[in-house]
């Protein structure tokens, strides 16, 4: 009824919003650079290949999950089930490649089948999330809470709650293998870091250049307008949650490969929060409609580097967690300013 509602915001406030958006875009990258400079001066042996290696390896799974999470959040949703889906993927893969159910003679075939089945299963559960949310119009936070709780239970039932240890180079290549190694000079790029880079580039490109990316951002920006313009809202959302599931499945494989064992209780524990934190710090709008994949990468790196900096300078891990919480609060506060 009030006429004010239909008016566009006055240009002054729009300009202010954009200024803040620009500051945010700059500030995430700026914060990363500041952290690196700080470390160069104050942390011993920071400028070593080893440091880069450790940090990238640790951040890779968060970014892999964060890519899917960014797409979900871009539609205005959220996916709490990613950690549990990692556990499911991590539970099913060893069952297959250890030949527990049926015998696949050739080890490479077994590993390939295990990986494909594990990732697709996680993707199918992701699709289920999307189906719940669109079919019954459940809020995403509740819809994905279902598998957040049940998913880990499913993983435990699959493994009877047992730890599954293994030592199988053909599989662990995904967590321990390296590319482009140079004898005596460079140990090589960790495979999971390579996967991370490929995923980040692919997702950033999809978000910017494809119909699917445009539809995701339209839904997050104004779902009703998107529907009235013929965007297949339910279908796009299902795909987005499916992709988030696929990413989680892949991350689950990386984690168990690094650990040489699969523990349904531990794989991906707390990952949903790490991924959401990376997305938030990276500058993606948590209410949807504006998303940046490279931002998520930078966000994850900042969180990782803050923790590394503190640990390397003798600050206890508990305090480091406080710093992480502070970062998230700061990022969300900045977003609130941007929307005011």
Partner 1 sequence: MTSATSPSVSPLLSMRSISKAFGGIPALAAASLEVAPGEVHALIGQNGAGKSTMIKILTGYVGRDEGEISFDGAAFDARSPQDAQHKGISTIYQEINLVPFRSVTENICLGRESRRFGLLDWKAMHEQARTLLSRFKIDLDVRKPLLRFNTATQQMVAIARAIGFKAKLVIMDEPTSSLDEREVAVLFDVIRQLKSEGVSVVFVSHKLDELYEVCDRVTIMRDGRTVRTADMAAIGKLELVASMLGRDIAQVAKSATAFGDRHGRIGDVVLTADHLSAGHKVHDVSFSVKRGEIAGFAGLLGAGRTETARMVFGADPLRSGSLSLDGQPLVPREPIDSIRRGIGFSSEDRKLEGIVPEMSVSENLTLALMPQLTRAGIVDEAKQQAIVEKFIQRLGVKCSGPGQKIRELSGGNQQKVLLARWLAMNPKLLILDEPTRGIDVGAKAEIQSLIKELADQGLAVLMISSELEEVLEGSDRVFVLREGRSVAEFPHAEASESAVMTAMAHGDSDLVAERSAS
Contacts with partner 1, residue ranges (CB under 8 A): 1-11, 14-15, 18, 209-212, 214-215, 217-218, 221-222, 224-232, 285, 289-290
Min. distance of Cβ 143 from partner 1 in angstroms?
21
Comparing CA positions, the residue from 29, 20, 73, 71 lying closest to residue 299 is 29
List, in sequence order, every residue forming a beta bridge with 61; answer none if it has no partner.
none
Per the CB < 8 A criterion, the answer to whether 129 and 241 are in contact is yes
Name the residue nearer to partner 1 (CB basis): 24 or 310.
24
Largest Cα span, the chain: 73
Min. distance of Cβ 83 from partner 1 in angstroms?
29
Name the residue nearer to partner 1 (CB basis): 15 or 109.
15
Tell me the two tokens of residue 129.
């999330």
Min. distance of Cβ 205 from partner 1 in angstroms?
9
Comparing CA positions, the residue from 199, 194, 221 lying closest to residue 294 is 199
Name the residue nearer to partner 1 (CB basis): 3 or 44.
3
Min. distance of Cβ 51 from partner 1 in angstroms?
38
Min. distance of Cβ 130 from partner 1 in angstroms?
17
DSSP secondary structure string, 116-149? HHHHHHHHHHHHHHHHHHHHS---HHHHHHHHHH
Per the CB < 8 A criterion, the answer to whether 66 and 280 are in contact is no
Name the residue nearer to partner 1 (CB basis): 213 or 245.
213
Min. distance of Cβ 242 from partner 1 in angstroms?
16
d(CA 6, CA 262): 55
Contacts of 163 (CB under 8 A, 6+ apart): 261, 262, 263
The label of the residue with tokens 């079919």 reads: 135
Name the residue nearer to partner 1 (CB basis): 21 or 302.
21
Min. distance of Cβ 14 from partner 1 in angstroms?
5
List, in sequence order, every residue forming a beta bridge with 178; answer none if it has no partner.
190
Comparing CA positions, the residue from 259, 262, 282 lying closest to residue 331 is 282
Name the residue nearer to partner 1 (CB basis): 14 or 34.
14
Name the residue nearer to partner 1 (CB basis): 24 or 85.
24
């Amino acid at each position: 009824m009030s006429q004010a509602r239909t008016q566009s915001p006055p240009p002054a406030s729009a300009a202010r919003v954009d200024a803040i958006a620009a500051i945010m875009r700059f500030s995430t990258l700026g914060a990363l650079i500041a952290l690196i400079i700080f470390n160069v001066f104050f942390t011993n042996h920071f400028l070593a290949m080893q440091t880069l290696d450790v940090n990238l390896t640790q951040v890779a799974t968060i970014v892999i999950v964060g890519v899917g999470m960014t797409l979900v959040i871009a539609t205005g949703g959220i996916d709490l089930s990613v950690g549990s889906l990692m556990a499911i993927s991590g539970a099913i893969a060893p069952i297959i490649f250890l030949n527990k159910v049926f015998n696949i003679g050739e080890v490479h075939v077994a590993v390939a089948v295990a990986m494909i089945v594990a990732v697709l299963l996680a993707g199918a559960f992701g699709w289920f999330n999307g189906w719940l949310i669109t079919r019954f119009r459940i809020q995403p936070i509740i819809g994905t809470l279902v598998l957040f709780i049940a998913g880990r239970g499913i993983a435990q039932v699959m493994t009877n709650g047992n730890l599954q240890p293994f030592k199988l180079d053909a599989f662990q290549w995904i967590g321990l293998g390296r590319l482009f190694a140079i004898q005596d000079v460079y140990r090589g790029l960790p495979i999971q870091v390579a996967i991370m880079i490929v995923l980040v580039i692919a997702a950033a490109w999809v978000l910017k250049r494809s119909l699917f990316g445009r539809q995701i951002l339209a839904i997050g920006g104004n779902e009703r307008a998107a529907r009235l313009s013929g965007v297949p809202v339910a279908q796009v959302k299902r795909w987005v949650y499916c992709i988030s599931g696929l990413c989680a499945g892949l991350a689950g494989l990386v984690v168990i490969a690094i650990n040489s064992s699969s523990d349904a209780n531990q794989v991906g524990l707390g990952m949903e929060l790490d991924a959401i934190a990376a997305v938030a710090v990276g500058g993606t709008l948590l209410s949807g409609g504006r998303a940046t994949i490279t931002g998520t990468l930078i966000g994850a790196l900042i969180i990782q580097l803050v923790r590394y900096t503190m640990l390397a300078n003798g600050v206890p891990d508990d305090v480091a967690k406080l710093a992480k919480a502070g970062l998230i609060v700061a990022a969300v506060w900045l977003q609130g300013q941007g929307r005011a």
